[in-house]
Amino acid sequence: MPSILIQNIKLLTQVRKTVEPLKGAEMRDLPGLKNAWLLIDNQKIKDFGTMDTCPDNADEVIDATGRLVLPSWCDSHTHLVYAGSREGEFVDRINGLSYEEIARRGGGILNSAARLQDTPEEELFEQASLRLEEIQSYGTGAVEIKSGYGLNTEAELKMLRVIRRLKEKSKVAIKATFLGAHALPLKYKADRNAYLDLLIDEMLPKIADQGLADYIDVFCEKVAFSVEETEQVMEAGAKYGLKPKIHTNQFNCMGGIQASVKHGAISVDHLEVINEEEIDCLLNSNTIGTLLPSAPFFINDHYPPARQMLDAGMAVALATDFNPGSTPSGRMPFVLSLACIKMRMSPEEAVNAATVNGAFAMELGSTHGSIAKGKVANVFITKPISSVAFIPYSFGSDLVDQVILQGSLI
């Protein structure tokens, strides 16, 4: 593979070795090198420095005058394997129904599950591949993808096999999460335990046996699964070495955060509602709080109190939640804009949340999320822009010019 030298970089952004997620005030700082070069070789970041020390031997040279270079976005929460779309519900919400009301009527996730069950694996793979290519063009270089639109053994396995094929094919780093407990299928309405038994006794062993998942997730919410049920699934996952990443506190504070922390969750995701006790619980843990502001944007709900979490000292990550119901978008730069505009995060905090902390929310912190020697060369070059703040400022614009993944120009 040819080596690549990027030179005359206006700002080489997010230059740091990382050993731990960034917390609270640490997130205000975004270290970078002005007038810099970056050498990529053998899929890795080989070296970097300021232009006065620029090497002159590389197979390919890219001039980045006026441009920024950033580590690829690390989107630690998506559901990008899905079938079809749900714009009917979008119109229902315009007409006054809420996301939860639609779910209670058997729409929402169950709607997507019915579609997915009927979609052949190959077609699902093709749809998901296009979405993966799309998010790559927005600068994403690592992504977590969940199952959870199968809701029976066969269809959950189908989704996870699609994710495995994406992993094999793509230069984007991918983590797979089993989300069998995303919604209760209607036929189990009178017997919730029967579904949990199926999930625990049939789906999980097969998934673990075939090595199809890295993590386990539950939608802990009034319209989905209780805290006790969430704990039951986390315990079952732990027997197979699957650590939790949990959907919680989207609409209600029910104790999902405390339960997730108790079970060593890597992250708790959503947090549109969170109280002081829950923030304290996260402060005393290694669990990252992952915020998904394009979900409340799209379903017209309120945003997580990011300022309160950051000022208290929490480690916060940002992700898209790309899915057909609450966020039909995988555009990380828009997530950064929402974080700044709607949650009053600074551009530096937003970049840290979307790179370093996103990487840690997928346990990729030592290989992805920053510019450091030996890290995987997943980076992007912007169009000529004035500063880091220009990225969230120019919401909706496409500022990514060139994408490099595993040391190859895409």
Residues of this chain that interact with ligand NIG (CB under 6 A) are 108-109, 112, 219, 247, 250, 295, 321, 323-326
Could you say which of ligand NIG, Fe ion, none residue 18 binds, taking C-beta under 5 to 8 angstroms by partner kind? none
- State the DSSP code for 43: T
Q: Is residue 221 at the binding interface for Fe ion, with CB under 5 A as the rule?
A: no
Give the list of residues 6+ apart from residue 291 with CB closer than 8 angstroms, or none.
269, 270, 271, 304, 306, 316, 317, 318, 319, 339, 343, 353
Distance (Å, rounded) from C-alpha 305 to C-alpha 272? 7
Q: Looking at beta carbons only, is 46 or 247 nearer to ligand NIG? A: 247
Rule CB under 5 A: which of 170-199 touch Fe ion?
none
Of 5 and 109, which CB lies nearer to ligand NIG in the complex structure?
Answer: 109
Asked if 75 touches Fe ion (CB under 5 A), the answer is no
Stretch that binds Fe ion, among 97-105, 297-305, 321-329, 377-385 (CB under 5 A): 321-329
Q: What is the DSSP letter of 240?
A: T
Backbone phi and psi for residue 159, each to the nearest 5 degrees, phi listed first: -60, -45
Q: Which is nearer to ligand NIG, 131 or 247 (CB)?
A: 247
> Which residue number, 214 or 348, has a Cβ lying nearer to ligand NIG?
214
Residue among 89, 214, 229, 321 that touches Fe ion (CB under 5 A):
321
Q: Considering the complex, what minimum distance in angstroms separates the CB of residue 345 from ligand NIG?
A: 20
Q: Within 5-24, which residues bind Fe ion (CB under 5 A)?
A: none
**Residue nearest ligand NIG, Cβ-based:** 325
Three-state DSSP class for residue 408: strand
Neighbouring-strand partners of residue 318? 291
What secondary structure does DSSP assign to 65-80, as a single string?
TTEEEEEPEEEEEE--
Residue pair 120/128 in contact by the 8 Å Cβ criterion:
no
Cβ closest to ligand NIG, residue 258 vs residue 323: 323
C-alpha count within 13 angstroms, C-beta hemisphere, residue 401 = 14
CB of 95 to Fe ion, least distance (A): 24
Which positions touch Fe ion (CB under 5 A)?
321
